[in-house]
Amino acid sequence: MDILFYHPTFNVDEWAALLQRHLPQTRLRAWQPGDNTAADYALVWHPPYEMLRGRVTLKAIFALGAGVDSLLSRLNEHPDLLPPGVPLYRMEDTGMAAQMQEYATSQVLHWFRRFDDYAALQREVCWEPLEEYRHADFTIGVLGAGVLGGQVAQSLSRFGFPVRSWSRSRKTRAGVESFAGADELSAFLHGTRVLVNLLPNTPETAGIINAQLLAALDDNAYVLNLARGVHLVEEDLLAALNSGKVKGAMLDVFHQEPLPSDSPLWRHPRVRITPHVAAVTRPEEAVVFIAQSITRIERGEMPPNQVDVARGY
């Protein structure tokens, strides 16, 4: 079984060794320009157009991440990027949910315990105990209720916060109030103190965190963007921070990555930045999912997480 591999930073030898452990009959090779030799499967991240074009003999393509927006966005430029009839799959959790839970929980608790305020007081050499926030007044709203968003919402509810989610369709999760569809977005935002974004990147969600949405949040709100930079209108967030409507923001993703050195986000006193590390693909866990999926395909079954190209996830 021949598998093509392309990732701009991952070590192909590591992935080959891991795949051999789970699928001994597998031969993994890194794609190089000019490689037109047939293959059964492809594992990709930001693949070159020439790698996938015309490969109609592939049984499946696996995107090496939970998001496939970067690949799908190139379809506008190259409509034949994905071979017709070849299914595309994205990673199913593969350790990302746990990472997202750690990131989101640590930051929400940081704000809830007012560590941001105490850091500001420390810079002023000021010893001043502050009034505690109450759980009941710290409603957390999670945009997106898929595998990652749903598990983040549930993990936060265990700390006693009121937690709600908003998604395209209604979800049922213990301890999480569900809102769905455009008609319920306003109700979801009303009373939300902490906004956590884990939406998929689709044409409908681009720019969704804008001035109008931020204005609908509780005063002194917090914004945590863990999904994609295109969801957030950065200028609107800066305006909301400067007006005091938004008290703080933690951003892991941006319109342009790496974030340009002249971006005012770097220097804003109430913005914290990480370089798109909230959840990364872990090869050991990703290979288990891929091996199980290939085994199912070889048996004539359909594995989970096939991407609906029209919907974008």
Active site residues: 228, 276
Question: Would you mind telling me the total number of residues written for the chain in this entry?
Answer: 313
Q: Crossing angle for the helix pair 147-157 and 96-112, nearest 10 degrees?
A: 40
Tokens of 243: 């007006």
* Burial call 287-304: b when 16+ CB within 10 Å, e when fewer: bbbbbebbeebeeeeebe
How many Cβ atoms sit within 10 Å of the Cβ of residue 22? 14
- In the DSSP assignment, the letter for residue 232 is B
Tokens of 202: 């689709």
Residue 263 contacts residue 237 (beta carbons within 8 Å): no
Sheet holding 194-197, edge to edge: 176-180, 163-167, 140-143, 194-197, 221-225, 246-251, 271-273
Residue 94 contacts residue 65 (beta carbons within 8 Å): no
Q: Which of 131, 99, 282, 129 is nearest to 198 (CA)?
A: 99
Strand blocks (E) in 199-280: 221-225, 246-251, 271-273
- Distance of alpha carbon 226 from alpha carbon 228, whole angstroms: 7
